[in-house]
Amino acid sequence: MSSQALEFIRPAPVDTAAQRWSVAAVEALFKLPFADLLFQAQQIHRQHFDPNAVQLSTLLSIKTGGCSEDCGYCPQSAFHNAGVENRKMLEVNEVVKAAKAAQAAGADRFCMGAAWREPSAEDMQSVVEMVKAVRALGMETCATLGMLDDEQTEQLRVAGLDYYNHNLDTAPEFYGDIISTRVYQDRLDTLERVRKAGMHVCSGGIVGMGENLTQRAGLIAQLANMEPYPESVPINNLVKVEGTPLADTADLDPLDFVRTIAVARITMPDARVRLSAGRQQMSDAVQALCFLAGANSIFYGDQLLTTGNPEVERDRALLDKLGMYPFAEKNH
């Protein structure tokens, strides 16, 4: 292959320092012809992963609704009327039961989500028990509980938490249009604490919230420029829930969603890129394009937190049809 062709496959991402992505460079990737973008993403994907293996995470809402934050997309915010029933925190035995069922269905990671701005000291005691109990089953553990302080990150690390999910959600420039009750820097601070405590970072965002292309590129640049970038990057397609401020947002073109996955893969070659919320509304063909673009992780199980996800049988059939298999089954 000529050096010119190689340059084309892997364009220099550089802004100033090595590994840093300018928003303009990320935006330029988004603007590539679709086939060129997918070809680059697939090449990079194959250099770093088995392209036919997918990681399966099951989500459980351990505390639902009544959240004091005003995130415009979220049905669990107390500011919106999305008809979500507020529920108190689950008992540890209920969580273990759900984790066992997820494991039996083939999931290797179990993610516990709570509708909190941040957990209280009392909440933390229960979460620590949950993490220990799920870990004891031999599953990878993940939690998403809102903002954390140094003591809480340490408690979670000691309990054996493998991943902490905390999303940047969008570009700094668009963030204020979506959330007013906490600032972007709060999110970066929590991610920094998680990293410092020695846990793996899971952080991504939502597309289809009305952001423009530069803002979409801005989210990816923020993630890719973290040092190091997150091990796990969930890309959510907005699930439009009646009663939330974003319920009437115009649909994102599915091919633009695929492009976002491809750009995440190119800019974060070693990360698990998760094709996250929004799969229930996606055709098998679009999901297949996302896998081709470098997605290698999904939420697996009929429910996300409060909204639906494809049934296990549909996902198994899709993976079979594509000749794909869970990472765990191939010892990856």
The residues that are catalytic are: 67, 71, 74, 111, 142, 202, 274
Q: Which is nearer to ligand DTB, 161 or 304 (CB)?
A: 304
Residue 73 binds ligand SAM (CB under 6 A): yes
Q: Count CB atoms within 10 A of the CB of residue 151.
A: 11
Return the amino acid letter for 270: D
Site pattern 150..189 for ligand SAM (x: CB under 6 A): ----------------xx-x--------------------
- Closest approach of ligand SF4 to the CB of residue 219, in Å: 16
Select from 13, 106, 119, 146 the one that contacts ligand SF4 (CB under 6 A).
146
Decide the pairing of beta strands 272-275 and 205-207: unpaired
Select from 238, 261, 290, 295 the one that contacts ligand SAM (CB under 6 A).
238
Taking the alpha carbons at both ends of the chain, their separation in whole angstroms is 31
Treating both helix axes as pointing N-terminal to C-terminal, what angle do 23-30 and 213-224 enclose, rounded to 10 degrees? 120
Task: Say if residues 260 and 221 touch (Cβ distance below 8 Å).
Answer: no
Binding partner selected for residue 77 from ligand SF4, ligand SAM, ligand DTB, none, CB under the kind-specific 5 to 8 Å limit: ligand SF4
- Closest approach of ligand SAM to the CB of residue 40, in Å: 26
Decide the pairing of beta strands 205-207 and 232-237: parallel
Return the amino acid letter for 91: E
Residue 241 binds ligand SAM (CB under 6 A): yes
**All residues at 6 or more sequence positions from 140 whose CB lies less than 8 Å from its CB, including other chains:** 108, 109, 110, 162, 163
- Using the contact rule CB under 6 A, the part of the chain among 225-233, 265-273, 287-295, 301-309 near ligand DTB is 301-309
Token reading at 7: 């340059």
Residue 223 binds ligand SF4 (CB under 6 A): no
Q: Which is nearer to ligand DTB, 166 or 195 (CB)?
A: 166
Cα separation values, 283 from 98, 275, 301, Å = 27, 13, 17
CA distance 165 to 113: 9
Decide the pairing of beta strands 109-114 and 140-144: parallel
Select from 75, 218, 230, 301 the one that contacts ligand DTB (CB under 6 A).
75
Select from 25, 32, 38, 115 the one that contacts ligand SF4 (CB under 6 A).
115
Strand locations in the chain (E) = 53-63, 109-114, 140-144, 163-165, 200-202, 205-207, 232-237, 272-275, 297-299, 325-326
Select from 40, 57, 61, 77 the one that contacts ligand SF4 (CB under 6 A).
77
- Closest approach of ligand DTB to the CB of residue 116, in Å: 12
Select from 23, 25, 59, 67 the one that contacts ligand SF4 (CB under 6 A).
67
Select from 72, 106, 119, 204 the one that contacts ligand DTB (CB under 6 A).
204
- Closest approach of ligand SAM to the CB of residue 143, in Å: 9
CA distance 202 to 157: 14
Helices then strands, each counted (H, E), the chain: 12, 10
Cα separation values, 38 from 30, 154, 155, Å = 10, 40, 41
Residue 326 binds ligand SAM (CB under 6 A): no
Site pattern 260..299 for ligand SAM (x: CB under 6 A): -----------------x----------------------
* Residue ranges binding ligand DTB (CB under 6 A): 59, 75, 113, 144, 165, 167, 204, 234, 236, 239, 276-277, 304-307
* Residue ranges binding ligand SAM (CB under 6 A): 73-74, 113, 115-116, 144, 146, 166-167, 169, 206, 236, 238-239, 241, 277, 305
